[in-house]
Amino acid sequence: MLARSGWRRLAPPAAPRSGRRRAGSAAPRFEVVVIGGGHAGTEAAAAAARGGARTLLLTHKIGTIGEMSCNPSFGGIGKGHLMREVDALDGLCGRICDVAGVHYKVLNRSKGPAVWGLRAQIDRRRYRDGVQKEILSTPLLTVREASVEDLLLTEPEANHPGKCQVTGVVLGDGSTVCAGSVILTTGTFLRGVILMGLETHPAGRLGDQPAVGLAQTLEKLGFTVGRLKTGTPPRLAKDTINFSGLEERVPDNPPVPFSFLSKAVWIKPEDQLSCYLTHTNLKAQQIVLDNLHLNDHVRETTKGPRYCPSFESKVLRFPNREHQVWLEPEGLESDVIYPQGLSMTLPAELQEQVIRSIPGLEKAKILQPGYGVQYDFLDPRQLTASLESRLVQRLFFAGQINGTTGYEEAAAQGIIAGINACLRVQGKPPFIVSRTEGYVGVLIDDLTTLGTTEPYRMFTSRVEFRMSLRPDNADARLTHRGFEEAGCVSQQRYEQAIQMRAALEDGIATLKSLQFSVTKWSHLVPEVPISSNRRSPLSAFDVLRYPEANMEILARAIPEPLRKLAEWRELSERLKIEAAYEWCVVNQQQEIEEVRRDEALRLPEDIDYFAIDASLSAEVREKLNSSRPQTISAVSRIPGVTPAAIINLLRFVKAEKLKAFPQTGKYLPGKMYSEKVTSQTPISAEISEEELGSTFVKTPL
């Protein structure tokens, strides 16, 4: 249990409201309480405060807020998209990475911009300090060091699912804090155990105690709890590594920022640090195979990360292969190297043998051994799309507690949970990002609809509408909604997004207005190989689609009115991408509208799938009851639910609506009713009798 510390108040609190009392004094009252100061917790707390909620962030140690517990990098394929979307909602991680990176690289450059992966090696200290500075200066946000052992609960609200309602938390010292909403972002701390060889000890992270009391409370409340594992590699001393024979990977010049607000990153291109590539060998493999009996973490049946497995797991799953090891710097002035791909839980002396069997690391010194972590997570199918629990009202979950892995996935969930916890207190509708609107929508829909049995990681391949949901247009997709609906976006960011949207619309209109024959274009831009078979006339926007074309070339050919468009670098790059993907976006629009129509068909929150009079098999009823889908679109993504079952469920929905209005035989658009009059959920789509025979979701997977 942590010693009590004083409050850190960053803004004058409102007058205290009535709440539970202890020792004769009123318990402090906040509108939103966030538990955990990791990547999910910091984004959640900052988002709730930006939305206008008096927010409290509770963490074991203020000094570890923003700590990068594992790899010293952000972004990547799929993950970079999440960072851009978090940034579009005024989140922290993108802006802070732009002032903390030491090696910026866009992955997947050989493919189109829709699947480019913005990535950066990050200076751990600069990032941690940047997050702490931001958090400790956010208006309406208070930070306190404390452990949380229990939840304060009361009777549930009417017209909302849940057996009870959370009203606050009980701290490790026995004091209480009252809250309008509570967000759990406990990471790997729920009954966390660290493993190295045959040794185990309770911890959520090296040097930090686990959350045991809270885990027991959640289990008693009826939450389905699972167990996952992860790990981290040993850290190496930079000056003991021989880089001379290794493959060097240089960063991009110029670096591409994560944030839409950043014109450039903080570091000069020439001052960036390189990464180096080496490989394991059969000697390293044999050390692992000879010592499996000394490795409890690998022998455990607990599921680990599929896409970032331990070295021992790679040896067992892919024997007799060389495996990549990336040597990554941990900071501009740091003497620590992070060997990406060498997560290990062998005893420390055996880790040293593995390390020294690898080219370039023959004399490497281990500064900190690798270790594994096993921890509890909750089945995310127990959450709504707003990340609010179905069992306990006003209780939200974000991050690894939902079965995900990675800083970016945690940050994305955190900002959505923070927004919705704030909106819940304010009595406003939840802020839901559809899977047609963003990668964060796909992430949350996958978790809340399908659940997970292994640490979930985001990839571009999980996203149906990749051509429309690109890193370059995250602001166009989400910033306006974040400002208007969530209240979490600053006026400055909103105005910048509006300005860019207007400039894009004007730029596209200007380019489309410039139309010439193929022959004339061939004279104007001879470096662009325009096919003579193309129909005339062609617009400048059509020409911009060619890989060889860009705004600079077009502006040289037609200075007026294109020079101004070409001089605005960000605008010219986005116009090029818009031109390249226009036909893809147009073709996808019909599919997107079909999915949105099905997402508008909402199911009653308290529907009893075992009792409804619908032609559904027992297996389908069990799957529906387990997943508790909120929409017909979500039903279609549940494995094992057939198109016939979807149609029968639609028939039941229509019949229930007709029962609600027997006097007219009609139903009102915008409402849907179940047997229980307390379940009233908005709906904005109608189904005719003719459509029932042929309507089922056509979500491309």
What is the rounded average pLDDT of the residues 248-265? 97
Whether residues 186 and 259 share a domain: the answer is: no
Q: Residue 275: CB partners within 8 Å, gap ≥ 6?
A: 103, 121, 248, 249, 326, 327, 328, 329
Q: Is 327 exposed, middle or buried (0-12, 13-18, 19+ CB in 10 A)?
A: buried
Q: How confident is the model at residue 299 (pLDDT cuts 50, 70, 90)?
A: low
Nearest CA to 438 out of 415, 459, 468, 461 is that of 468
The angle, 0 to 180 degrees and rounded to 10, between the axes of the packed helices 491-513 and 559-567 is 150
675 is a domain residue: no
Which CATH number goes with the domain that contains 617? 1.10.150.570
DSSP 284-337: HHHHHHHTGGG-HHHHS-SB--SSS--HHHHHHHSTT---EEEEEES-SS--EE
Residue 584 is part of a domain; what is its CATH number? 1.10.10
* 89, 479 contact by CB (below 8 A): yes
Q: 338 with 288, same domain?
A: yes
Tell me the mean pLDDT in the region 560-584: 95
Nearest to 231 by CA among 296, 288, 330, 304: 304
409 and 426 in a single domain? The answer is yes
Residue 488 reports pLDDT greater than 90: yes
> To 10 degrees, what angle do helices 282-290 and 348-356 make?
160
Backbone dihedral angles phi then psi of residue 415, each to the nearest 5 degrees: -70, -35
Q: Which residue from 388, 494, 379, 490 is spatially nearest to 431, judged by alpha carbons?
A: 388
The CA-based angle 189-194-198, given to 5 degrees, is: 155
What is the pTM for the complete model shown? 0.87
Within-domain flag for 629: yes
Q: Inform me whether the pLDDT recorded for 342 exceeds 50.
A: yes
Higher pLDDT, 667 or 460: 460
Question: Are 145 and 205 within one domain?
Answer: yes
Residue 3 placed within a domain: no
What's the pLDDT score for residue 356? 97
Q: Is 21 helix (H, G, I), strand (E, B) or coil?
A: strand
pLDDT tens per residue, range 161-204: 899 999 999 999 999 999 999 999 999 999 999 999 999 999 88
How confident is the model at residue 627, as a pLDDT? 84
Residue 442 has pLDDT above 60, yes or no: yes
Same domain? For 383 and 365 the reply is: no
Least confident among 302-306, 392-396, 521-525, 535-539: 302-306
End residue of a domain, out of 347, 374, 401: 374
Q: Does residue 102 carry a pLDDT above 90?
A: yes
| Reported confidence tier of residue 647, pLDDT bands at 50, 70, 90 | confident
| One domain for residues 352 and 436 | no
The identity of residue 594, as a single letter, is: E
Asked if 152 and 171 touch (Cβ cutoff 8 Å), the reply is: no
Give the domain-ending residue among 326, 356, 374: 374
The pLDDT assigned to 11 comes to 38
- More confident: 595 or 661: 595
Residue 665 has pLDDT above 90, yes or no: no
Assess whether 307 and 349 both reside in one domain. Answer: yes
Residues 239 and 221 in one domain: no
Q: Are 161 and 605 in contact (CB under 8 A)?
A: yes
- Average pLDDT score over residue span 630-634: 83
Domain that holds residue 639: 602-659
pLDDT band at residue 447 using 50, 70 and 90 as cut-offs: very high
Beta-bridged to residue 229, according to DSSP, are: 374
Question: Region 618-630: what's the mean pLDDT?
Answer: 87
Examine the pLDDT at 114 and tell me if it is beyond 80. Answer: yes
97 and 188 belong to one structural domain: yes
Residue 52, Ramachandran bin (φ over 0: left; ψ between -120 and 50: alpha; else beta) = left
In the prediction, which pLDDT does 599 show? Answer: 76
How many domains is the chain partitioned into structurally?
4
Is residue 668 one of the residues assigned to a domain? no
Asked if the structure places residue 44 within a domain, the reply is yes
Shared domain for 381 and 365, answered yes or no, is no
For residue 159, the SS3 value is coil
394 with 450, same domain?
A: yes
pLDDT of residue 443: 97
Q: Whose CA is closest to 43, among 11, 86, 7?
A: 86
